[in-house]
Structures are given as C-alpha cells and as structure tokens.
Amino acid sequence: MGRVMTNDPSCIFCRIIAGQAEASKVYQDDLVTAFMDRRPLTPGHLLVVPNEHTANLAGLDETIAGRMFVVGCQLAQALRRSGLRCEGINLFLADGPAAGQTVFHSHLHVIPRFIGDGFGLRFPPGYGSGASREDLDTVAAKVEAALRGNRGESSEQEE
Ligand code: 5GP
Ligand code: ZN
C-alpha cells in the first residue's frame, strides 16, 4: 500500500492514512483508504475515508465522494466472499454531530449484517403512518429549490 502524507496531524484518521497511527488497513489508493473500525459493530466493520482531510460532506470533492462509494461497494462484495458472517451490508455515513458523527474526518461505514446481530436503527415515535402527498410535495419543493442554490422558503412564496 502506498504512502500518503499527513495533512492534519491532530486528526486520528489522517495519522492512520499516513501510517503514523496503528490500524488494520485493507485498501489504499490515491484518493481513499479503508481500514477496520476499532470498535466493530459486527466482525468486518470497515471505514472508507478520503485521504485528504475533509471534516464533512459539504467539503468533499465529488470525485473523492464517488470513489468512497465505489470502494465501499467493492468492500461490501469482498465481505460477502470473505468467510465472515455477512448476510447483508449497511453503508452508513454520519454527517454532523446530530447525525452521530464523532470523528470529524468524513468516513463511510461498511457494516456486515446478519439476522440476530443485535444492531439496528431506532425509529422515532409515530413512525410508519406515512405523510400526505401535499406534505411530501411541500418538502420536495424545498429540497428542489435548495438543490438549485436557492433557499426553500423563498421559492415556496414564489409558487
Ligand atoms: P462516526 O460515529 O463518526 O460515524 O464513527 C466514527 C468511527 O470511528 C467509530 O465507529 C469508531 O469506532 C471509529 N474510530 C474512532 N477512533 C478510531 C481509531 O483510532 N481507529 C479506528 N480504526 N477506528 C476508530
Ligand atoms: Zn483527518
């Protein structure tokens, strides 16, 4: 595996990428590095991280984001062939503390899953009743406007 220069010495993932902190690496290329999560949710739990220090999704270059996902998919296939217990896979990315991000160097989790592994997502109270088409359309309009670089509220007033 090639060597990548450290770009933020105060960041544990930057030090791992540069080979200056211990980790069980499985893959490294010019854009991303993958290694075992040190507190695996299930055996085989991996992290794919950009080599360049990037705290959150907003700062992530599109080519690097694409590479993270592609390598995540390749690792998912490798896990299924690995002999580890793997009946399914979760790809998970926490962006921001409210979403559960604890290490502020963006990373994609690749998590092997099997029936009875004990891991899961907790649903909010009242989940499952579904939203009305009107509510969904209102929310969709805000997202669509934001995607165009506008603020959701102003476009709602225009329409
Ligand atoms: P987050 O909650 O930010 O999505 O996930 C951070 C992940 O990084 C956690 O699953 C945690 O176990 C893992 N982690 C934190 N520090 C280290 C470390 O020093 N080495 C490795 N391999 N994983 C780490
Ligand atoms: Zn970093």
Residue spans per domain, the chain: 12-113, 128-159
Distance between CA atoms of 107 and 19, rounded to whole angstroms?
17
CATH architecture of 12-113: 2-Layer Sandwich (3.30)
Instruction: Identify the DSSP state of 112.
Output: E
Q: Block means of pLDDT (10 residues each) for the chain, length 159 residues?
A: 74 97 98 98 98 95 97 98 98 98 98 97 89 97 92 49
Question: If we measure between CA atoms, which residue out of 116, 130, 134, 114 comes closest to residue 45?
Answer: 114
Amino acid identity, position 60: L
Question: If we measure between CA atoms, which residue out of 7, 11, 9 comes closest to residue 107?
Answer: 11
| 3-state secondary structure (DSSP) of residue 43 | coil
80-105 residue pLDDT tens? 999 999 999 999 999 999 999 999 99
CA-nearest residue, atom 17 of ligand 1: 38
User: Ligand 1 pocket: which of 33, 103, 106, 111 to mutate (most atoms <8 Å of CB)?
Assistant: 103
Beta-sheet strand order (sheet of 32-36): 25-28, 32-36, 46-50, 108-113, 88-92
Its pTM stands at 0.91
Would the CB of 23 count as within 6 Å of ligand 1? Answer: yes
Question: If we measure between CA atoms, which residue out of 150, 126, 125, 152 comes closest to residue 137?
Answer: 152
